[in-house]
Amino acid sequence: MKHLLAASDLSRDAATAILDDADKFREALLGRDVKKLPTLRGRTVITMFYENSTRTRVSFEVAGKWMSADVINVSASGSSVAKGESLRDTALTLRAAGADALIIRHPASGAAQQLAAWTREDGHGGPSVINAGDGTHEHPTQALLDALTIRQRLGGLEGRRVVIVGDILHSRVARSNVSLLSTLGAEVVLVAPPTLLPVGVSEWPVTVSHDLDAELPAADAVLMLRVQAERMNGAFFPSAREYSVRYGLSEKRLAGLSEDTVVLHPGPMLRGMEIASSVADSSQSAVLQQVSNGVHVRMAVLFQLLVGAGREVIA
């Protein structure tokens, strides 16, 4: 595997291998004082974040550093992008500076694939590109860490019912999760107001509903999404309060869930909007476990992309 551009590119075996490796990384570091593995020593990993991020950027940096890679963060605001430098020139510059891996987050859908095309070199050369979120398209490492969290909490993914709630229209997290969860054998239900569902959602391998209360009782996992106000140019619901009342995970709704149902949120959370503060902090909420899994998943992805010659895996 040279790049990780989309969850839809991952076969069931490839995705399962990443989840299994992530668990092994967690085990390998458990209880250690020295959280360091020598595996990526001498490799240069450069992150290019054209959008704000706390979780994703920090966890990629921690993942790379724990594996002894040299990690450099470039954010658009402090760089020559602010002077008008194009994405392509930025990428070529970073490749020329020695990047073995480029991790890109960008507001344009398709940016990661475009980057992989521009930085390709003959033979299997050129840096590996990891998509950290491109517009409203995909965020594959998020889907992987969500799947891993569900797998850990529920003991498996096959046949489990995962309900994804919120701004599906603008959500790359939703798209990647729908893709990955169905590849891994889970049943996916989308709950959103009609205005926040994309055209063509009927073609997706999901059930669609507008009634959150009707879908919660049968849910094994509930994934709450933030309303992506920064990607909206129009009015999609009458008021934030009405959205929250109809589609927010309130304390009352949490009480109605089965005790084993796990609550997830990719973050950042807007407490009081899509999720009540007490729900976010409840024992059923796996948000911090998601973050910790995020580091291990990103270690697994870097390992699979940057280590080893050739294609097949030796067991």
**Minimal distance in Å, beta carbon 155 to another protein?**
17
DSSP 199: T
Rule CB under 8 A: is residue 288 a binding residue for another protein? no
Distance CA(3)–CA(174), nearest Å, equals 21
311 exposure class (CB count in 10 Å sphere: 0-12, 13-18, 19+)? exposed
DSSP, collapsed to helix, strand or coil, labels residue 151 as: helix
Q: Does 312 bind another protein (CB under 8 A)?
A: yes
What tokens were used for 106?
A: 């960008």
**Binding flags for another protein, 104-123, as an x/- string (CB under 8 A):** --------------------
Which residue among 12, 13, 20, 229 contacts another protein (CB under 8 A)?
20
As given in the structure block, the two tokens for residue 140 are 């594959």
Which of residues 5, 10, 25, 296 is near another protein by CB under 8 A?
25
* Side-by-side strand order, sheet with 128-134: 70-75, 44-49, 101-106, 128-134
31 belongs to the binding site for another protein (CB under 8 A): yes
Residues binding another protein: number (CB under 8 A):
28
CA atoms lying within 13 Å on the CB side of residue 189: 20
**Cross-sheet strand order for the sheet of 207-209:** 207-209, 187-191, 161-165, 221-224, 262-264
For the chain, how far is it from start to end, CA to CA, in angstroms? 17
Q: Quick check: 152 binds another protein (CB under 8 A)?
A: no
- With binding defined as CB under 8 A, does residue 246 bind another protein? no
Q: Which stretch binds another protein (CB under 8 A): 32-40, 78-86, 211-219, 244-252?
A: 32-40
Tokens of 161: 């019912």
Q: What residue spans of 30-157 are helical by DSSP H?
A: 55-66, 87-96, 111-118, 140-154
Cβ 307 to another protein shortest distance, Å: 5
Binder to another protein among 30, 199, 235, 255 (CB under 8 A)?
A: 30
Binding to another protein by residue 200, rule CB under 8 A?
A: no
Nearer to another protein, 34 or 235 (CB): 34
Shortest Å distance, C-beta 40 to another protein: 9
Segment near another protein (CB under 8 A); pick from 29-37, 56-64, 91-99, 119-127: 29-37
Part in contact with another protein (CB under 8 A); list of ranges 44-52, 55-63, 278-286, 300-308: 300-308
Q: Which of 144, 63, 148, 146 is nearest to 103 (CA)?
A: 63
How far is Cα 162 from Cα 168, in angstroms, rounded to an integer? 14
Draw the binding track, 65-84, toward another protein (x: CB under 8 A; -: no contact): --x-----------------
User: Residues interacting with another protein, by CB under 8 A?
Assistant: 17, 20-21, 24-25, 27-28, 30-34, 36-39, 67, 303-304, 307-315
